[in-house]
Structure formats: C-alpha cells, structure tokens
C-alpha cells in the first residue's frame, strides 16, 4: 500500500503552486515552478513552445506509452476598460462567474512589472446607499475592480501604468482544516498537479520503473479549451486527464473520493479505459465513484479533437463548488494517487 505521506506531499506542492497567480495566458511563472518541481524529483522536464510542461516519469515500453494530463492555468480576468472614475471593467479569462468574483481581493499585473491590489465589487457596492443592491444582476457590466490606490479618474489610473489587457488575478484563499478538508480557489486543477507530483515522488522514492513509458503534460490553456491539443510524444496510446472530480446534486462522488468520469458534455470516455480505471480502484482499495458530468470538458478531449489517435479517460479528486471557492479532502487526493498507481501497475 502507498504511504499516505504522498498525499500530504501532493497537497504541500499544490499549496505552493496555488500561491503563484496563473490565469490562462499568464502562466510562465507557474510553468517554471512546475518544471523545477518535477526536476527536483529526478524527472526530466521541459517547457513547450506553447508554455506547458512536458515531463518524463520513466517507464520501459515507449511504444505503448501513457500520457497524464493536468493543467496549471486557472480562471481569472483581464482589464477591458479603464472607467471614468478610475475603476476597472473586466473581461473573464475562462469561466469565471461574476457571482463568484464579487468581493474577492485581486492583484492587477501591469506589463511594466508593477502589481496593484484591489477588490472586485458591485458598482455602487454600499448597501446603505444603493437601494437596488440585492436586485442587481451580477455581470461583467455591473461589477468592477476598485483599486487600493487614490485614483478617481481614468487619467490617474493610467498614470499608475495600468492599461487595457492587464491581467487580474483573484486571491485563492488556500487553507487546510484540521479535519483534512482542502479549500481554495483554483483546486481546478492545481490540486491535480500536486497529485501528479506526489505520484512522481512515489515512483522515484521507491525506484520503480513502470512497464509502460509514462509522461505528464501540465497544460496552460485548459480553461479556454485548447490546453491538451499539442505536445503528445510519439508512442502514446492512452491519455488520462487528471482534473477535478465533480461533486454536486445528482452525482455520487464526494470530496473524500476519487471520481472516474464515464461521460461529460464532450461525450463518453473510452469504455476500455474507464473499465480499467474502475478495476484499478477496486484492486487498490481506493474509495471511488463513477459519474457523468453534465457541464464539463477536459484536456484529453482537446487532445482527441487535435487529431491524436489515442484512448482517453478522466479521473480526479472530488471537488465541490467548482469554479468558485472550491473544497476537496486529503482522502480524495490519496485515492487519486492509488488509482494512478493501480492503473500503471506500480502497486
């Protein structure tokens, strides 16, 4: 059995990565961190032209290789307008809901390298002043960034060096509870990057060389739909997206389990791969659920759409409140590692 310390290591790595802002299109710092983290475990890694990280996890048979995909890009926003009052109008990066963005602290990154703090608020956010506060629909036309700077005009904001196209990053608010719950924005999918690092550490600590060649691809445009569309090495026959497992009404998975996805909005996953994932969960004693996700797409589906001739699957630690303030559990992390180990035959 795999020691549970590898789940703790996975969370430690995820926590460090969650501290690096990386919405889609602004991922260079996170990619460098991911590359260094895998290399520190003895896994050769390189940054692709597109900006992802391609990692060799070891293994013998390169003609029947397995490709594990996770992503380090997150939701975020971009400055689309500097308003006359000096505040910022946003356009989302990925599926960031304005309902979830409201009242969050943010960092605004300028192209000159300066970083400014602010808060995402409803325009006219004082309840004691705005009688329509509760009735106002939250959209990217009704929320704005209030900078923590003494600015009252567009000219004053521009004088700070803030411009259209600057990146706005939301505070992840990462924490672990005494009961093992893991809470943060952007567990989707930095938690899975941590899981792959925990799995890699297990392989290296125990000097295990899998029968199949294993690669990991940490992508950087998953949240906008094309993260996994490139950089698949020759010889790969199967790809598994390690992403968040959905938790919600009508689904069986909890945060303490690993979810195996049979179908999502992009269609069914490979029946053969899903069956082998279920078998791996049973053989390793992993606590798992099989679910159908109603509103979901993954890196590995982008890989198939790009024309690669592979079989595909999807697993993930259960995550509640997806694309909001998300919650998982250290047990879900451990169960995901067990399934990866069982599927690759290293346990």
Catalytic positions are 222
Residue pair 38/216 in contact (Cβ under 8 Å)? The answer is yes
Q: Of 9, 18, 11, nearest to 329 (Cα)?
A: 11
- Residue 189: asked if its preceding bond is cis (omega within 30°), the reply is yes
Instruction: Find, among 45, 43, 42, the residue nearest to 32 by Cα.
Output: 45
Count Cβ atoms below 10 Å from residue 87 Cβ, excluding itself.
20
Burial 42-69 (b: 16+ CB within 10 A, else e): ebebebeebbbbbbbbbbeeeeebbbbb
- Tell me the CA end-to-end span of the chain in Å, nearest whole number: 7
Q: Do the Cβ atoms of 244 and 319 come closer than 8 Å?
A: yes
């Amino acid at each position: 059995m795999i020691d549970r310390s590898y789940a703790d290591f996975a969370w430690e790595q995820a926590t460090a990565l969650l501290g690096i802002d990386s919405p889609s299109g602004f991922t260079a710092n996170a990619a460098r961190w991911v590359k260094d983290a895998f290399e520190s475990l003895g896994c050769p890694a390189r940054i692709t032209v597109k900006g992802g990280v391609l990692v060799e996890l070891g293994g013998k048979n390169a003609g029947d290789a397995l490709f594990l995909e996770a992503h380090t890009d997150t939701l975020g926003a971009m400055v689309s307008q500097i308003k006359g009052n000096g505040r910022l109008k946003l356009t989302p990066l990925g599926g960031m809901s304005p309902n979830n963005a409201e009242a969050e602290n943010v960092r605004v990154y300028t192209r000159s390298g300066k970083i400014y703090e602010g808060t995402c608020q409803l325009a006219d956010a004082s309840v004691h002043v705005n009688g329509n506060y509760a009735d106002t629909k939250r959209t990217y036309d009704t929320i704005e960034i209030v900078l923590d700077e003494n600015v009252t005009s567009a000219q004053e904001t521009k004088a700070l060096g803030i411009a259209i196209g600057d990146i706005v990053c939301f505070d992840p608010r990462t924490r672990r509870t005494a009961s093992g719950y893991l809470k943060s924005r952007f567990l989707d999918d930095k938690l899975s990057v941590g899981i792959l690092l925990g799995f890699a550490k297990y392989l290296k600590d125990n000097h295990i060389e899998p029968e199949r060649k294993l690669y990991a691809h940490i992508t950087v445009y998953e949240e906008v739909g094309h993260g996994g569309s490139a950089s698949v090495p020759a010889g790969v026959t199967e790809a598994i997206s390690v992403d968040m497992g959905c938790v919600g009404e009508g689904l069986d998975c909890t945060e303490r389990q690993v979810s195996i996805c049979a179908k999502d909005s992009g269609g069914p996953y490979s029946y053969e791969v899903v069956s082998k994932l279920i078998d791996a969960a049973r053989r390793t004693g992993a606590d798992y659920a099989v679910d159908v996700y109603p509103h979901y797409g993954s890196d590995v589906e982008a890989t198939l759409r790009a024309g690669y001739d592979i079989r595909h699957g999807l697993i993930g630690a259960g995550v509640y409140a997806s694309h909001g303030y998300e919650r998982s559990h250290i047990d879900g992390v451990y169960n995901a590692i067990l399934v990866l180990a069982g599927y690759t035959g290293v346990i």
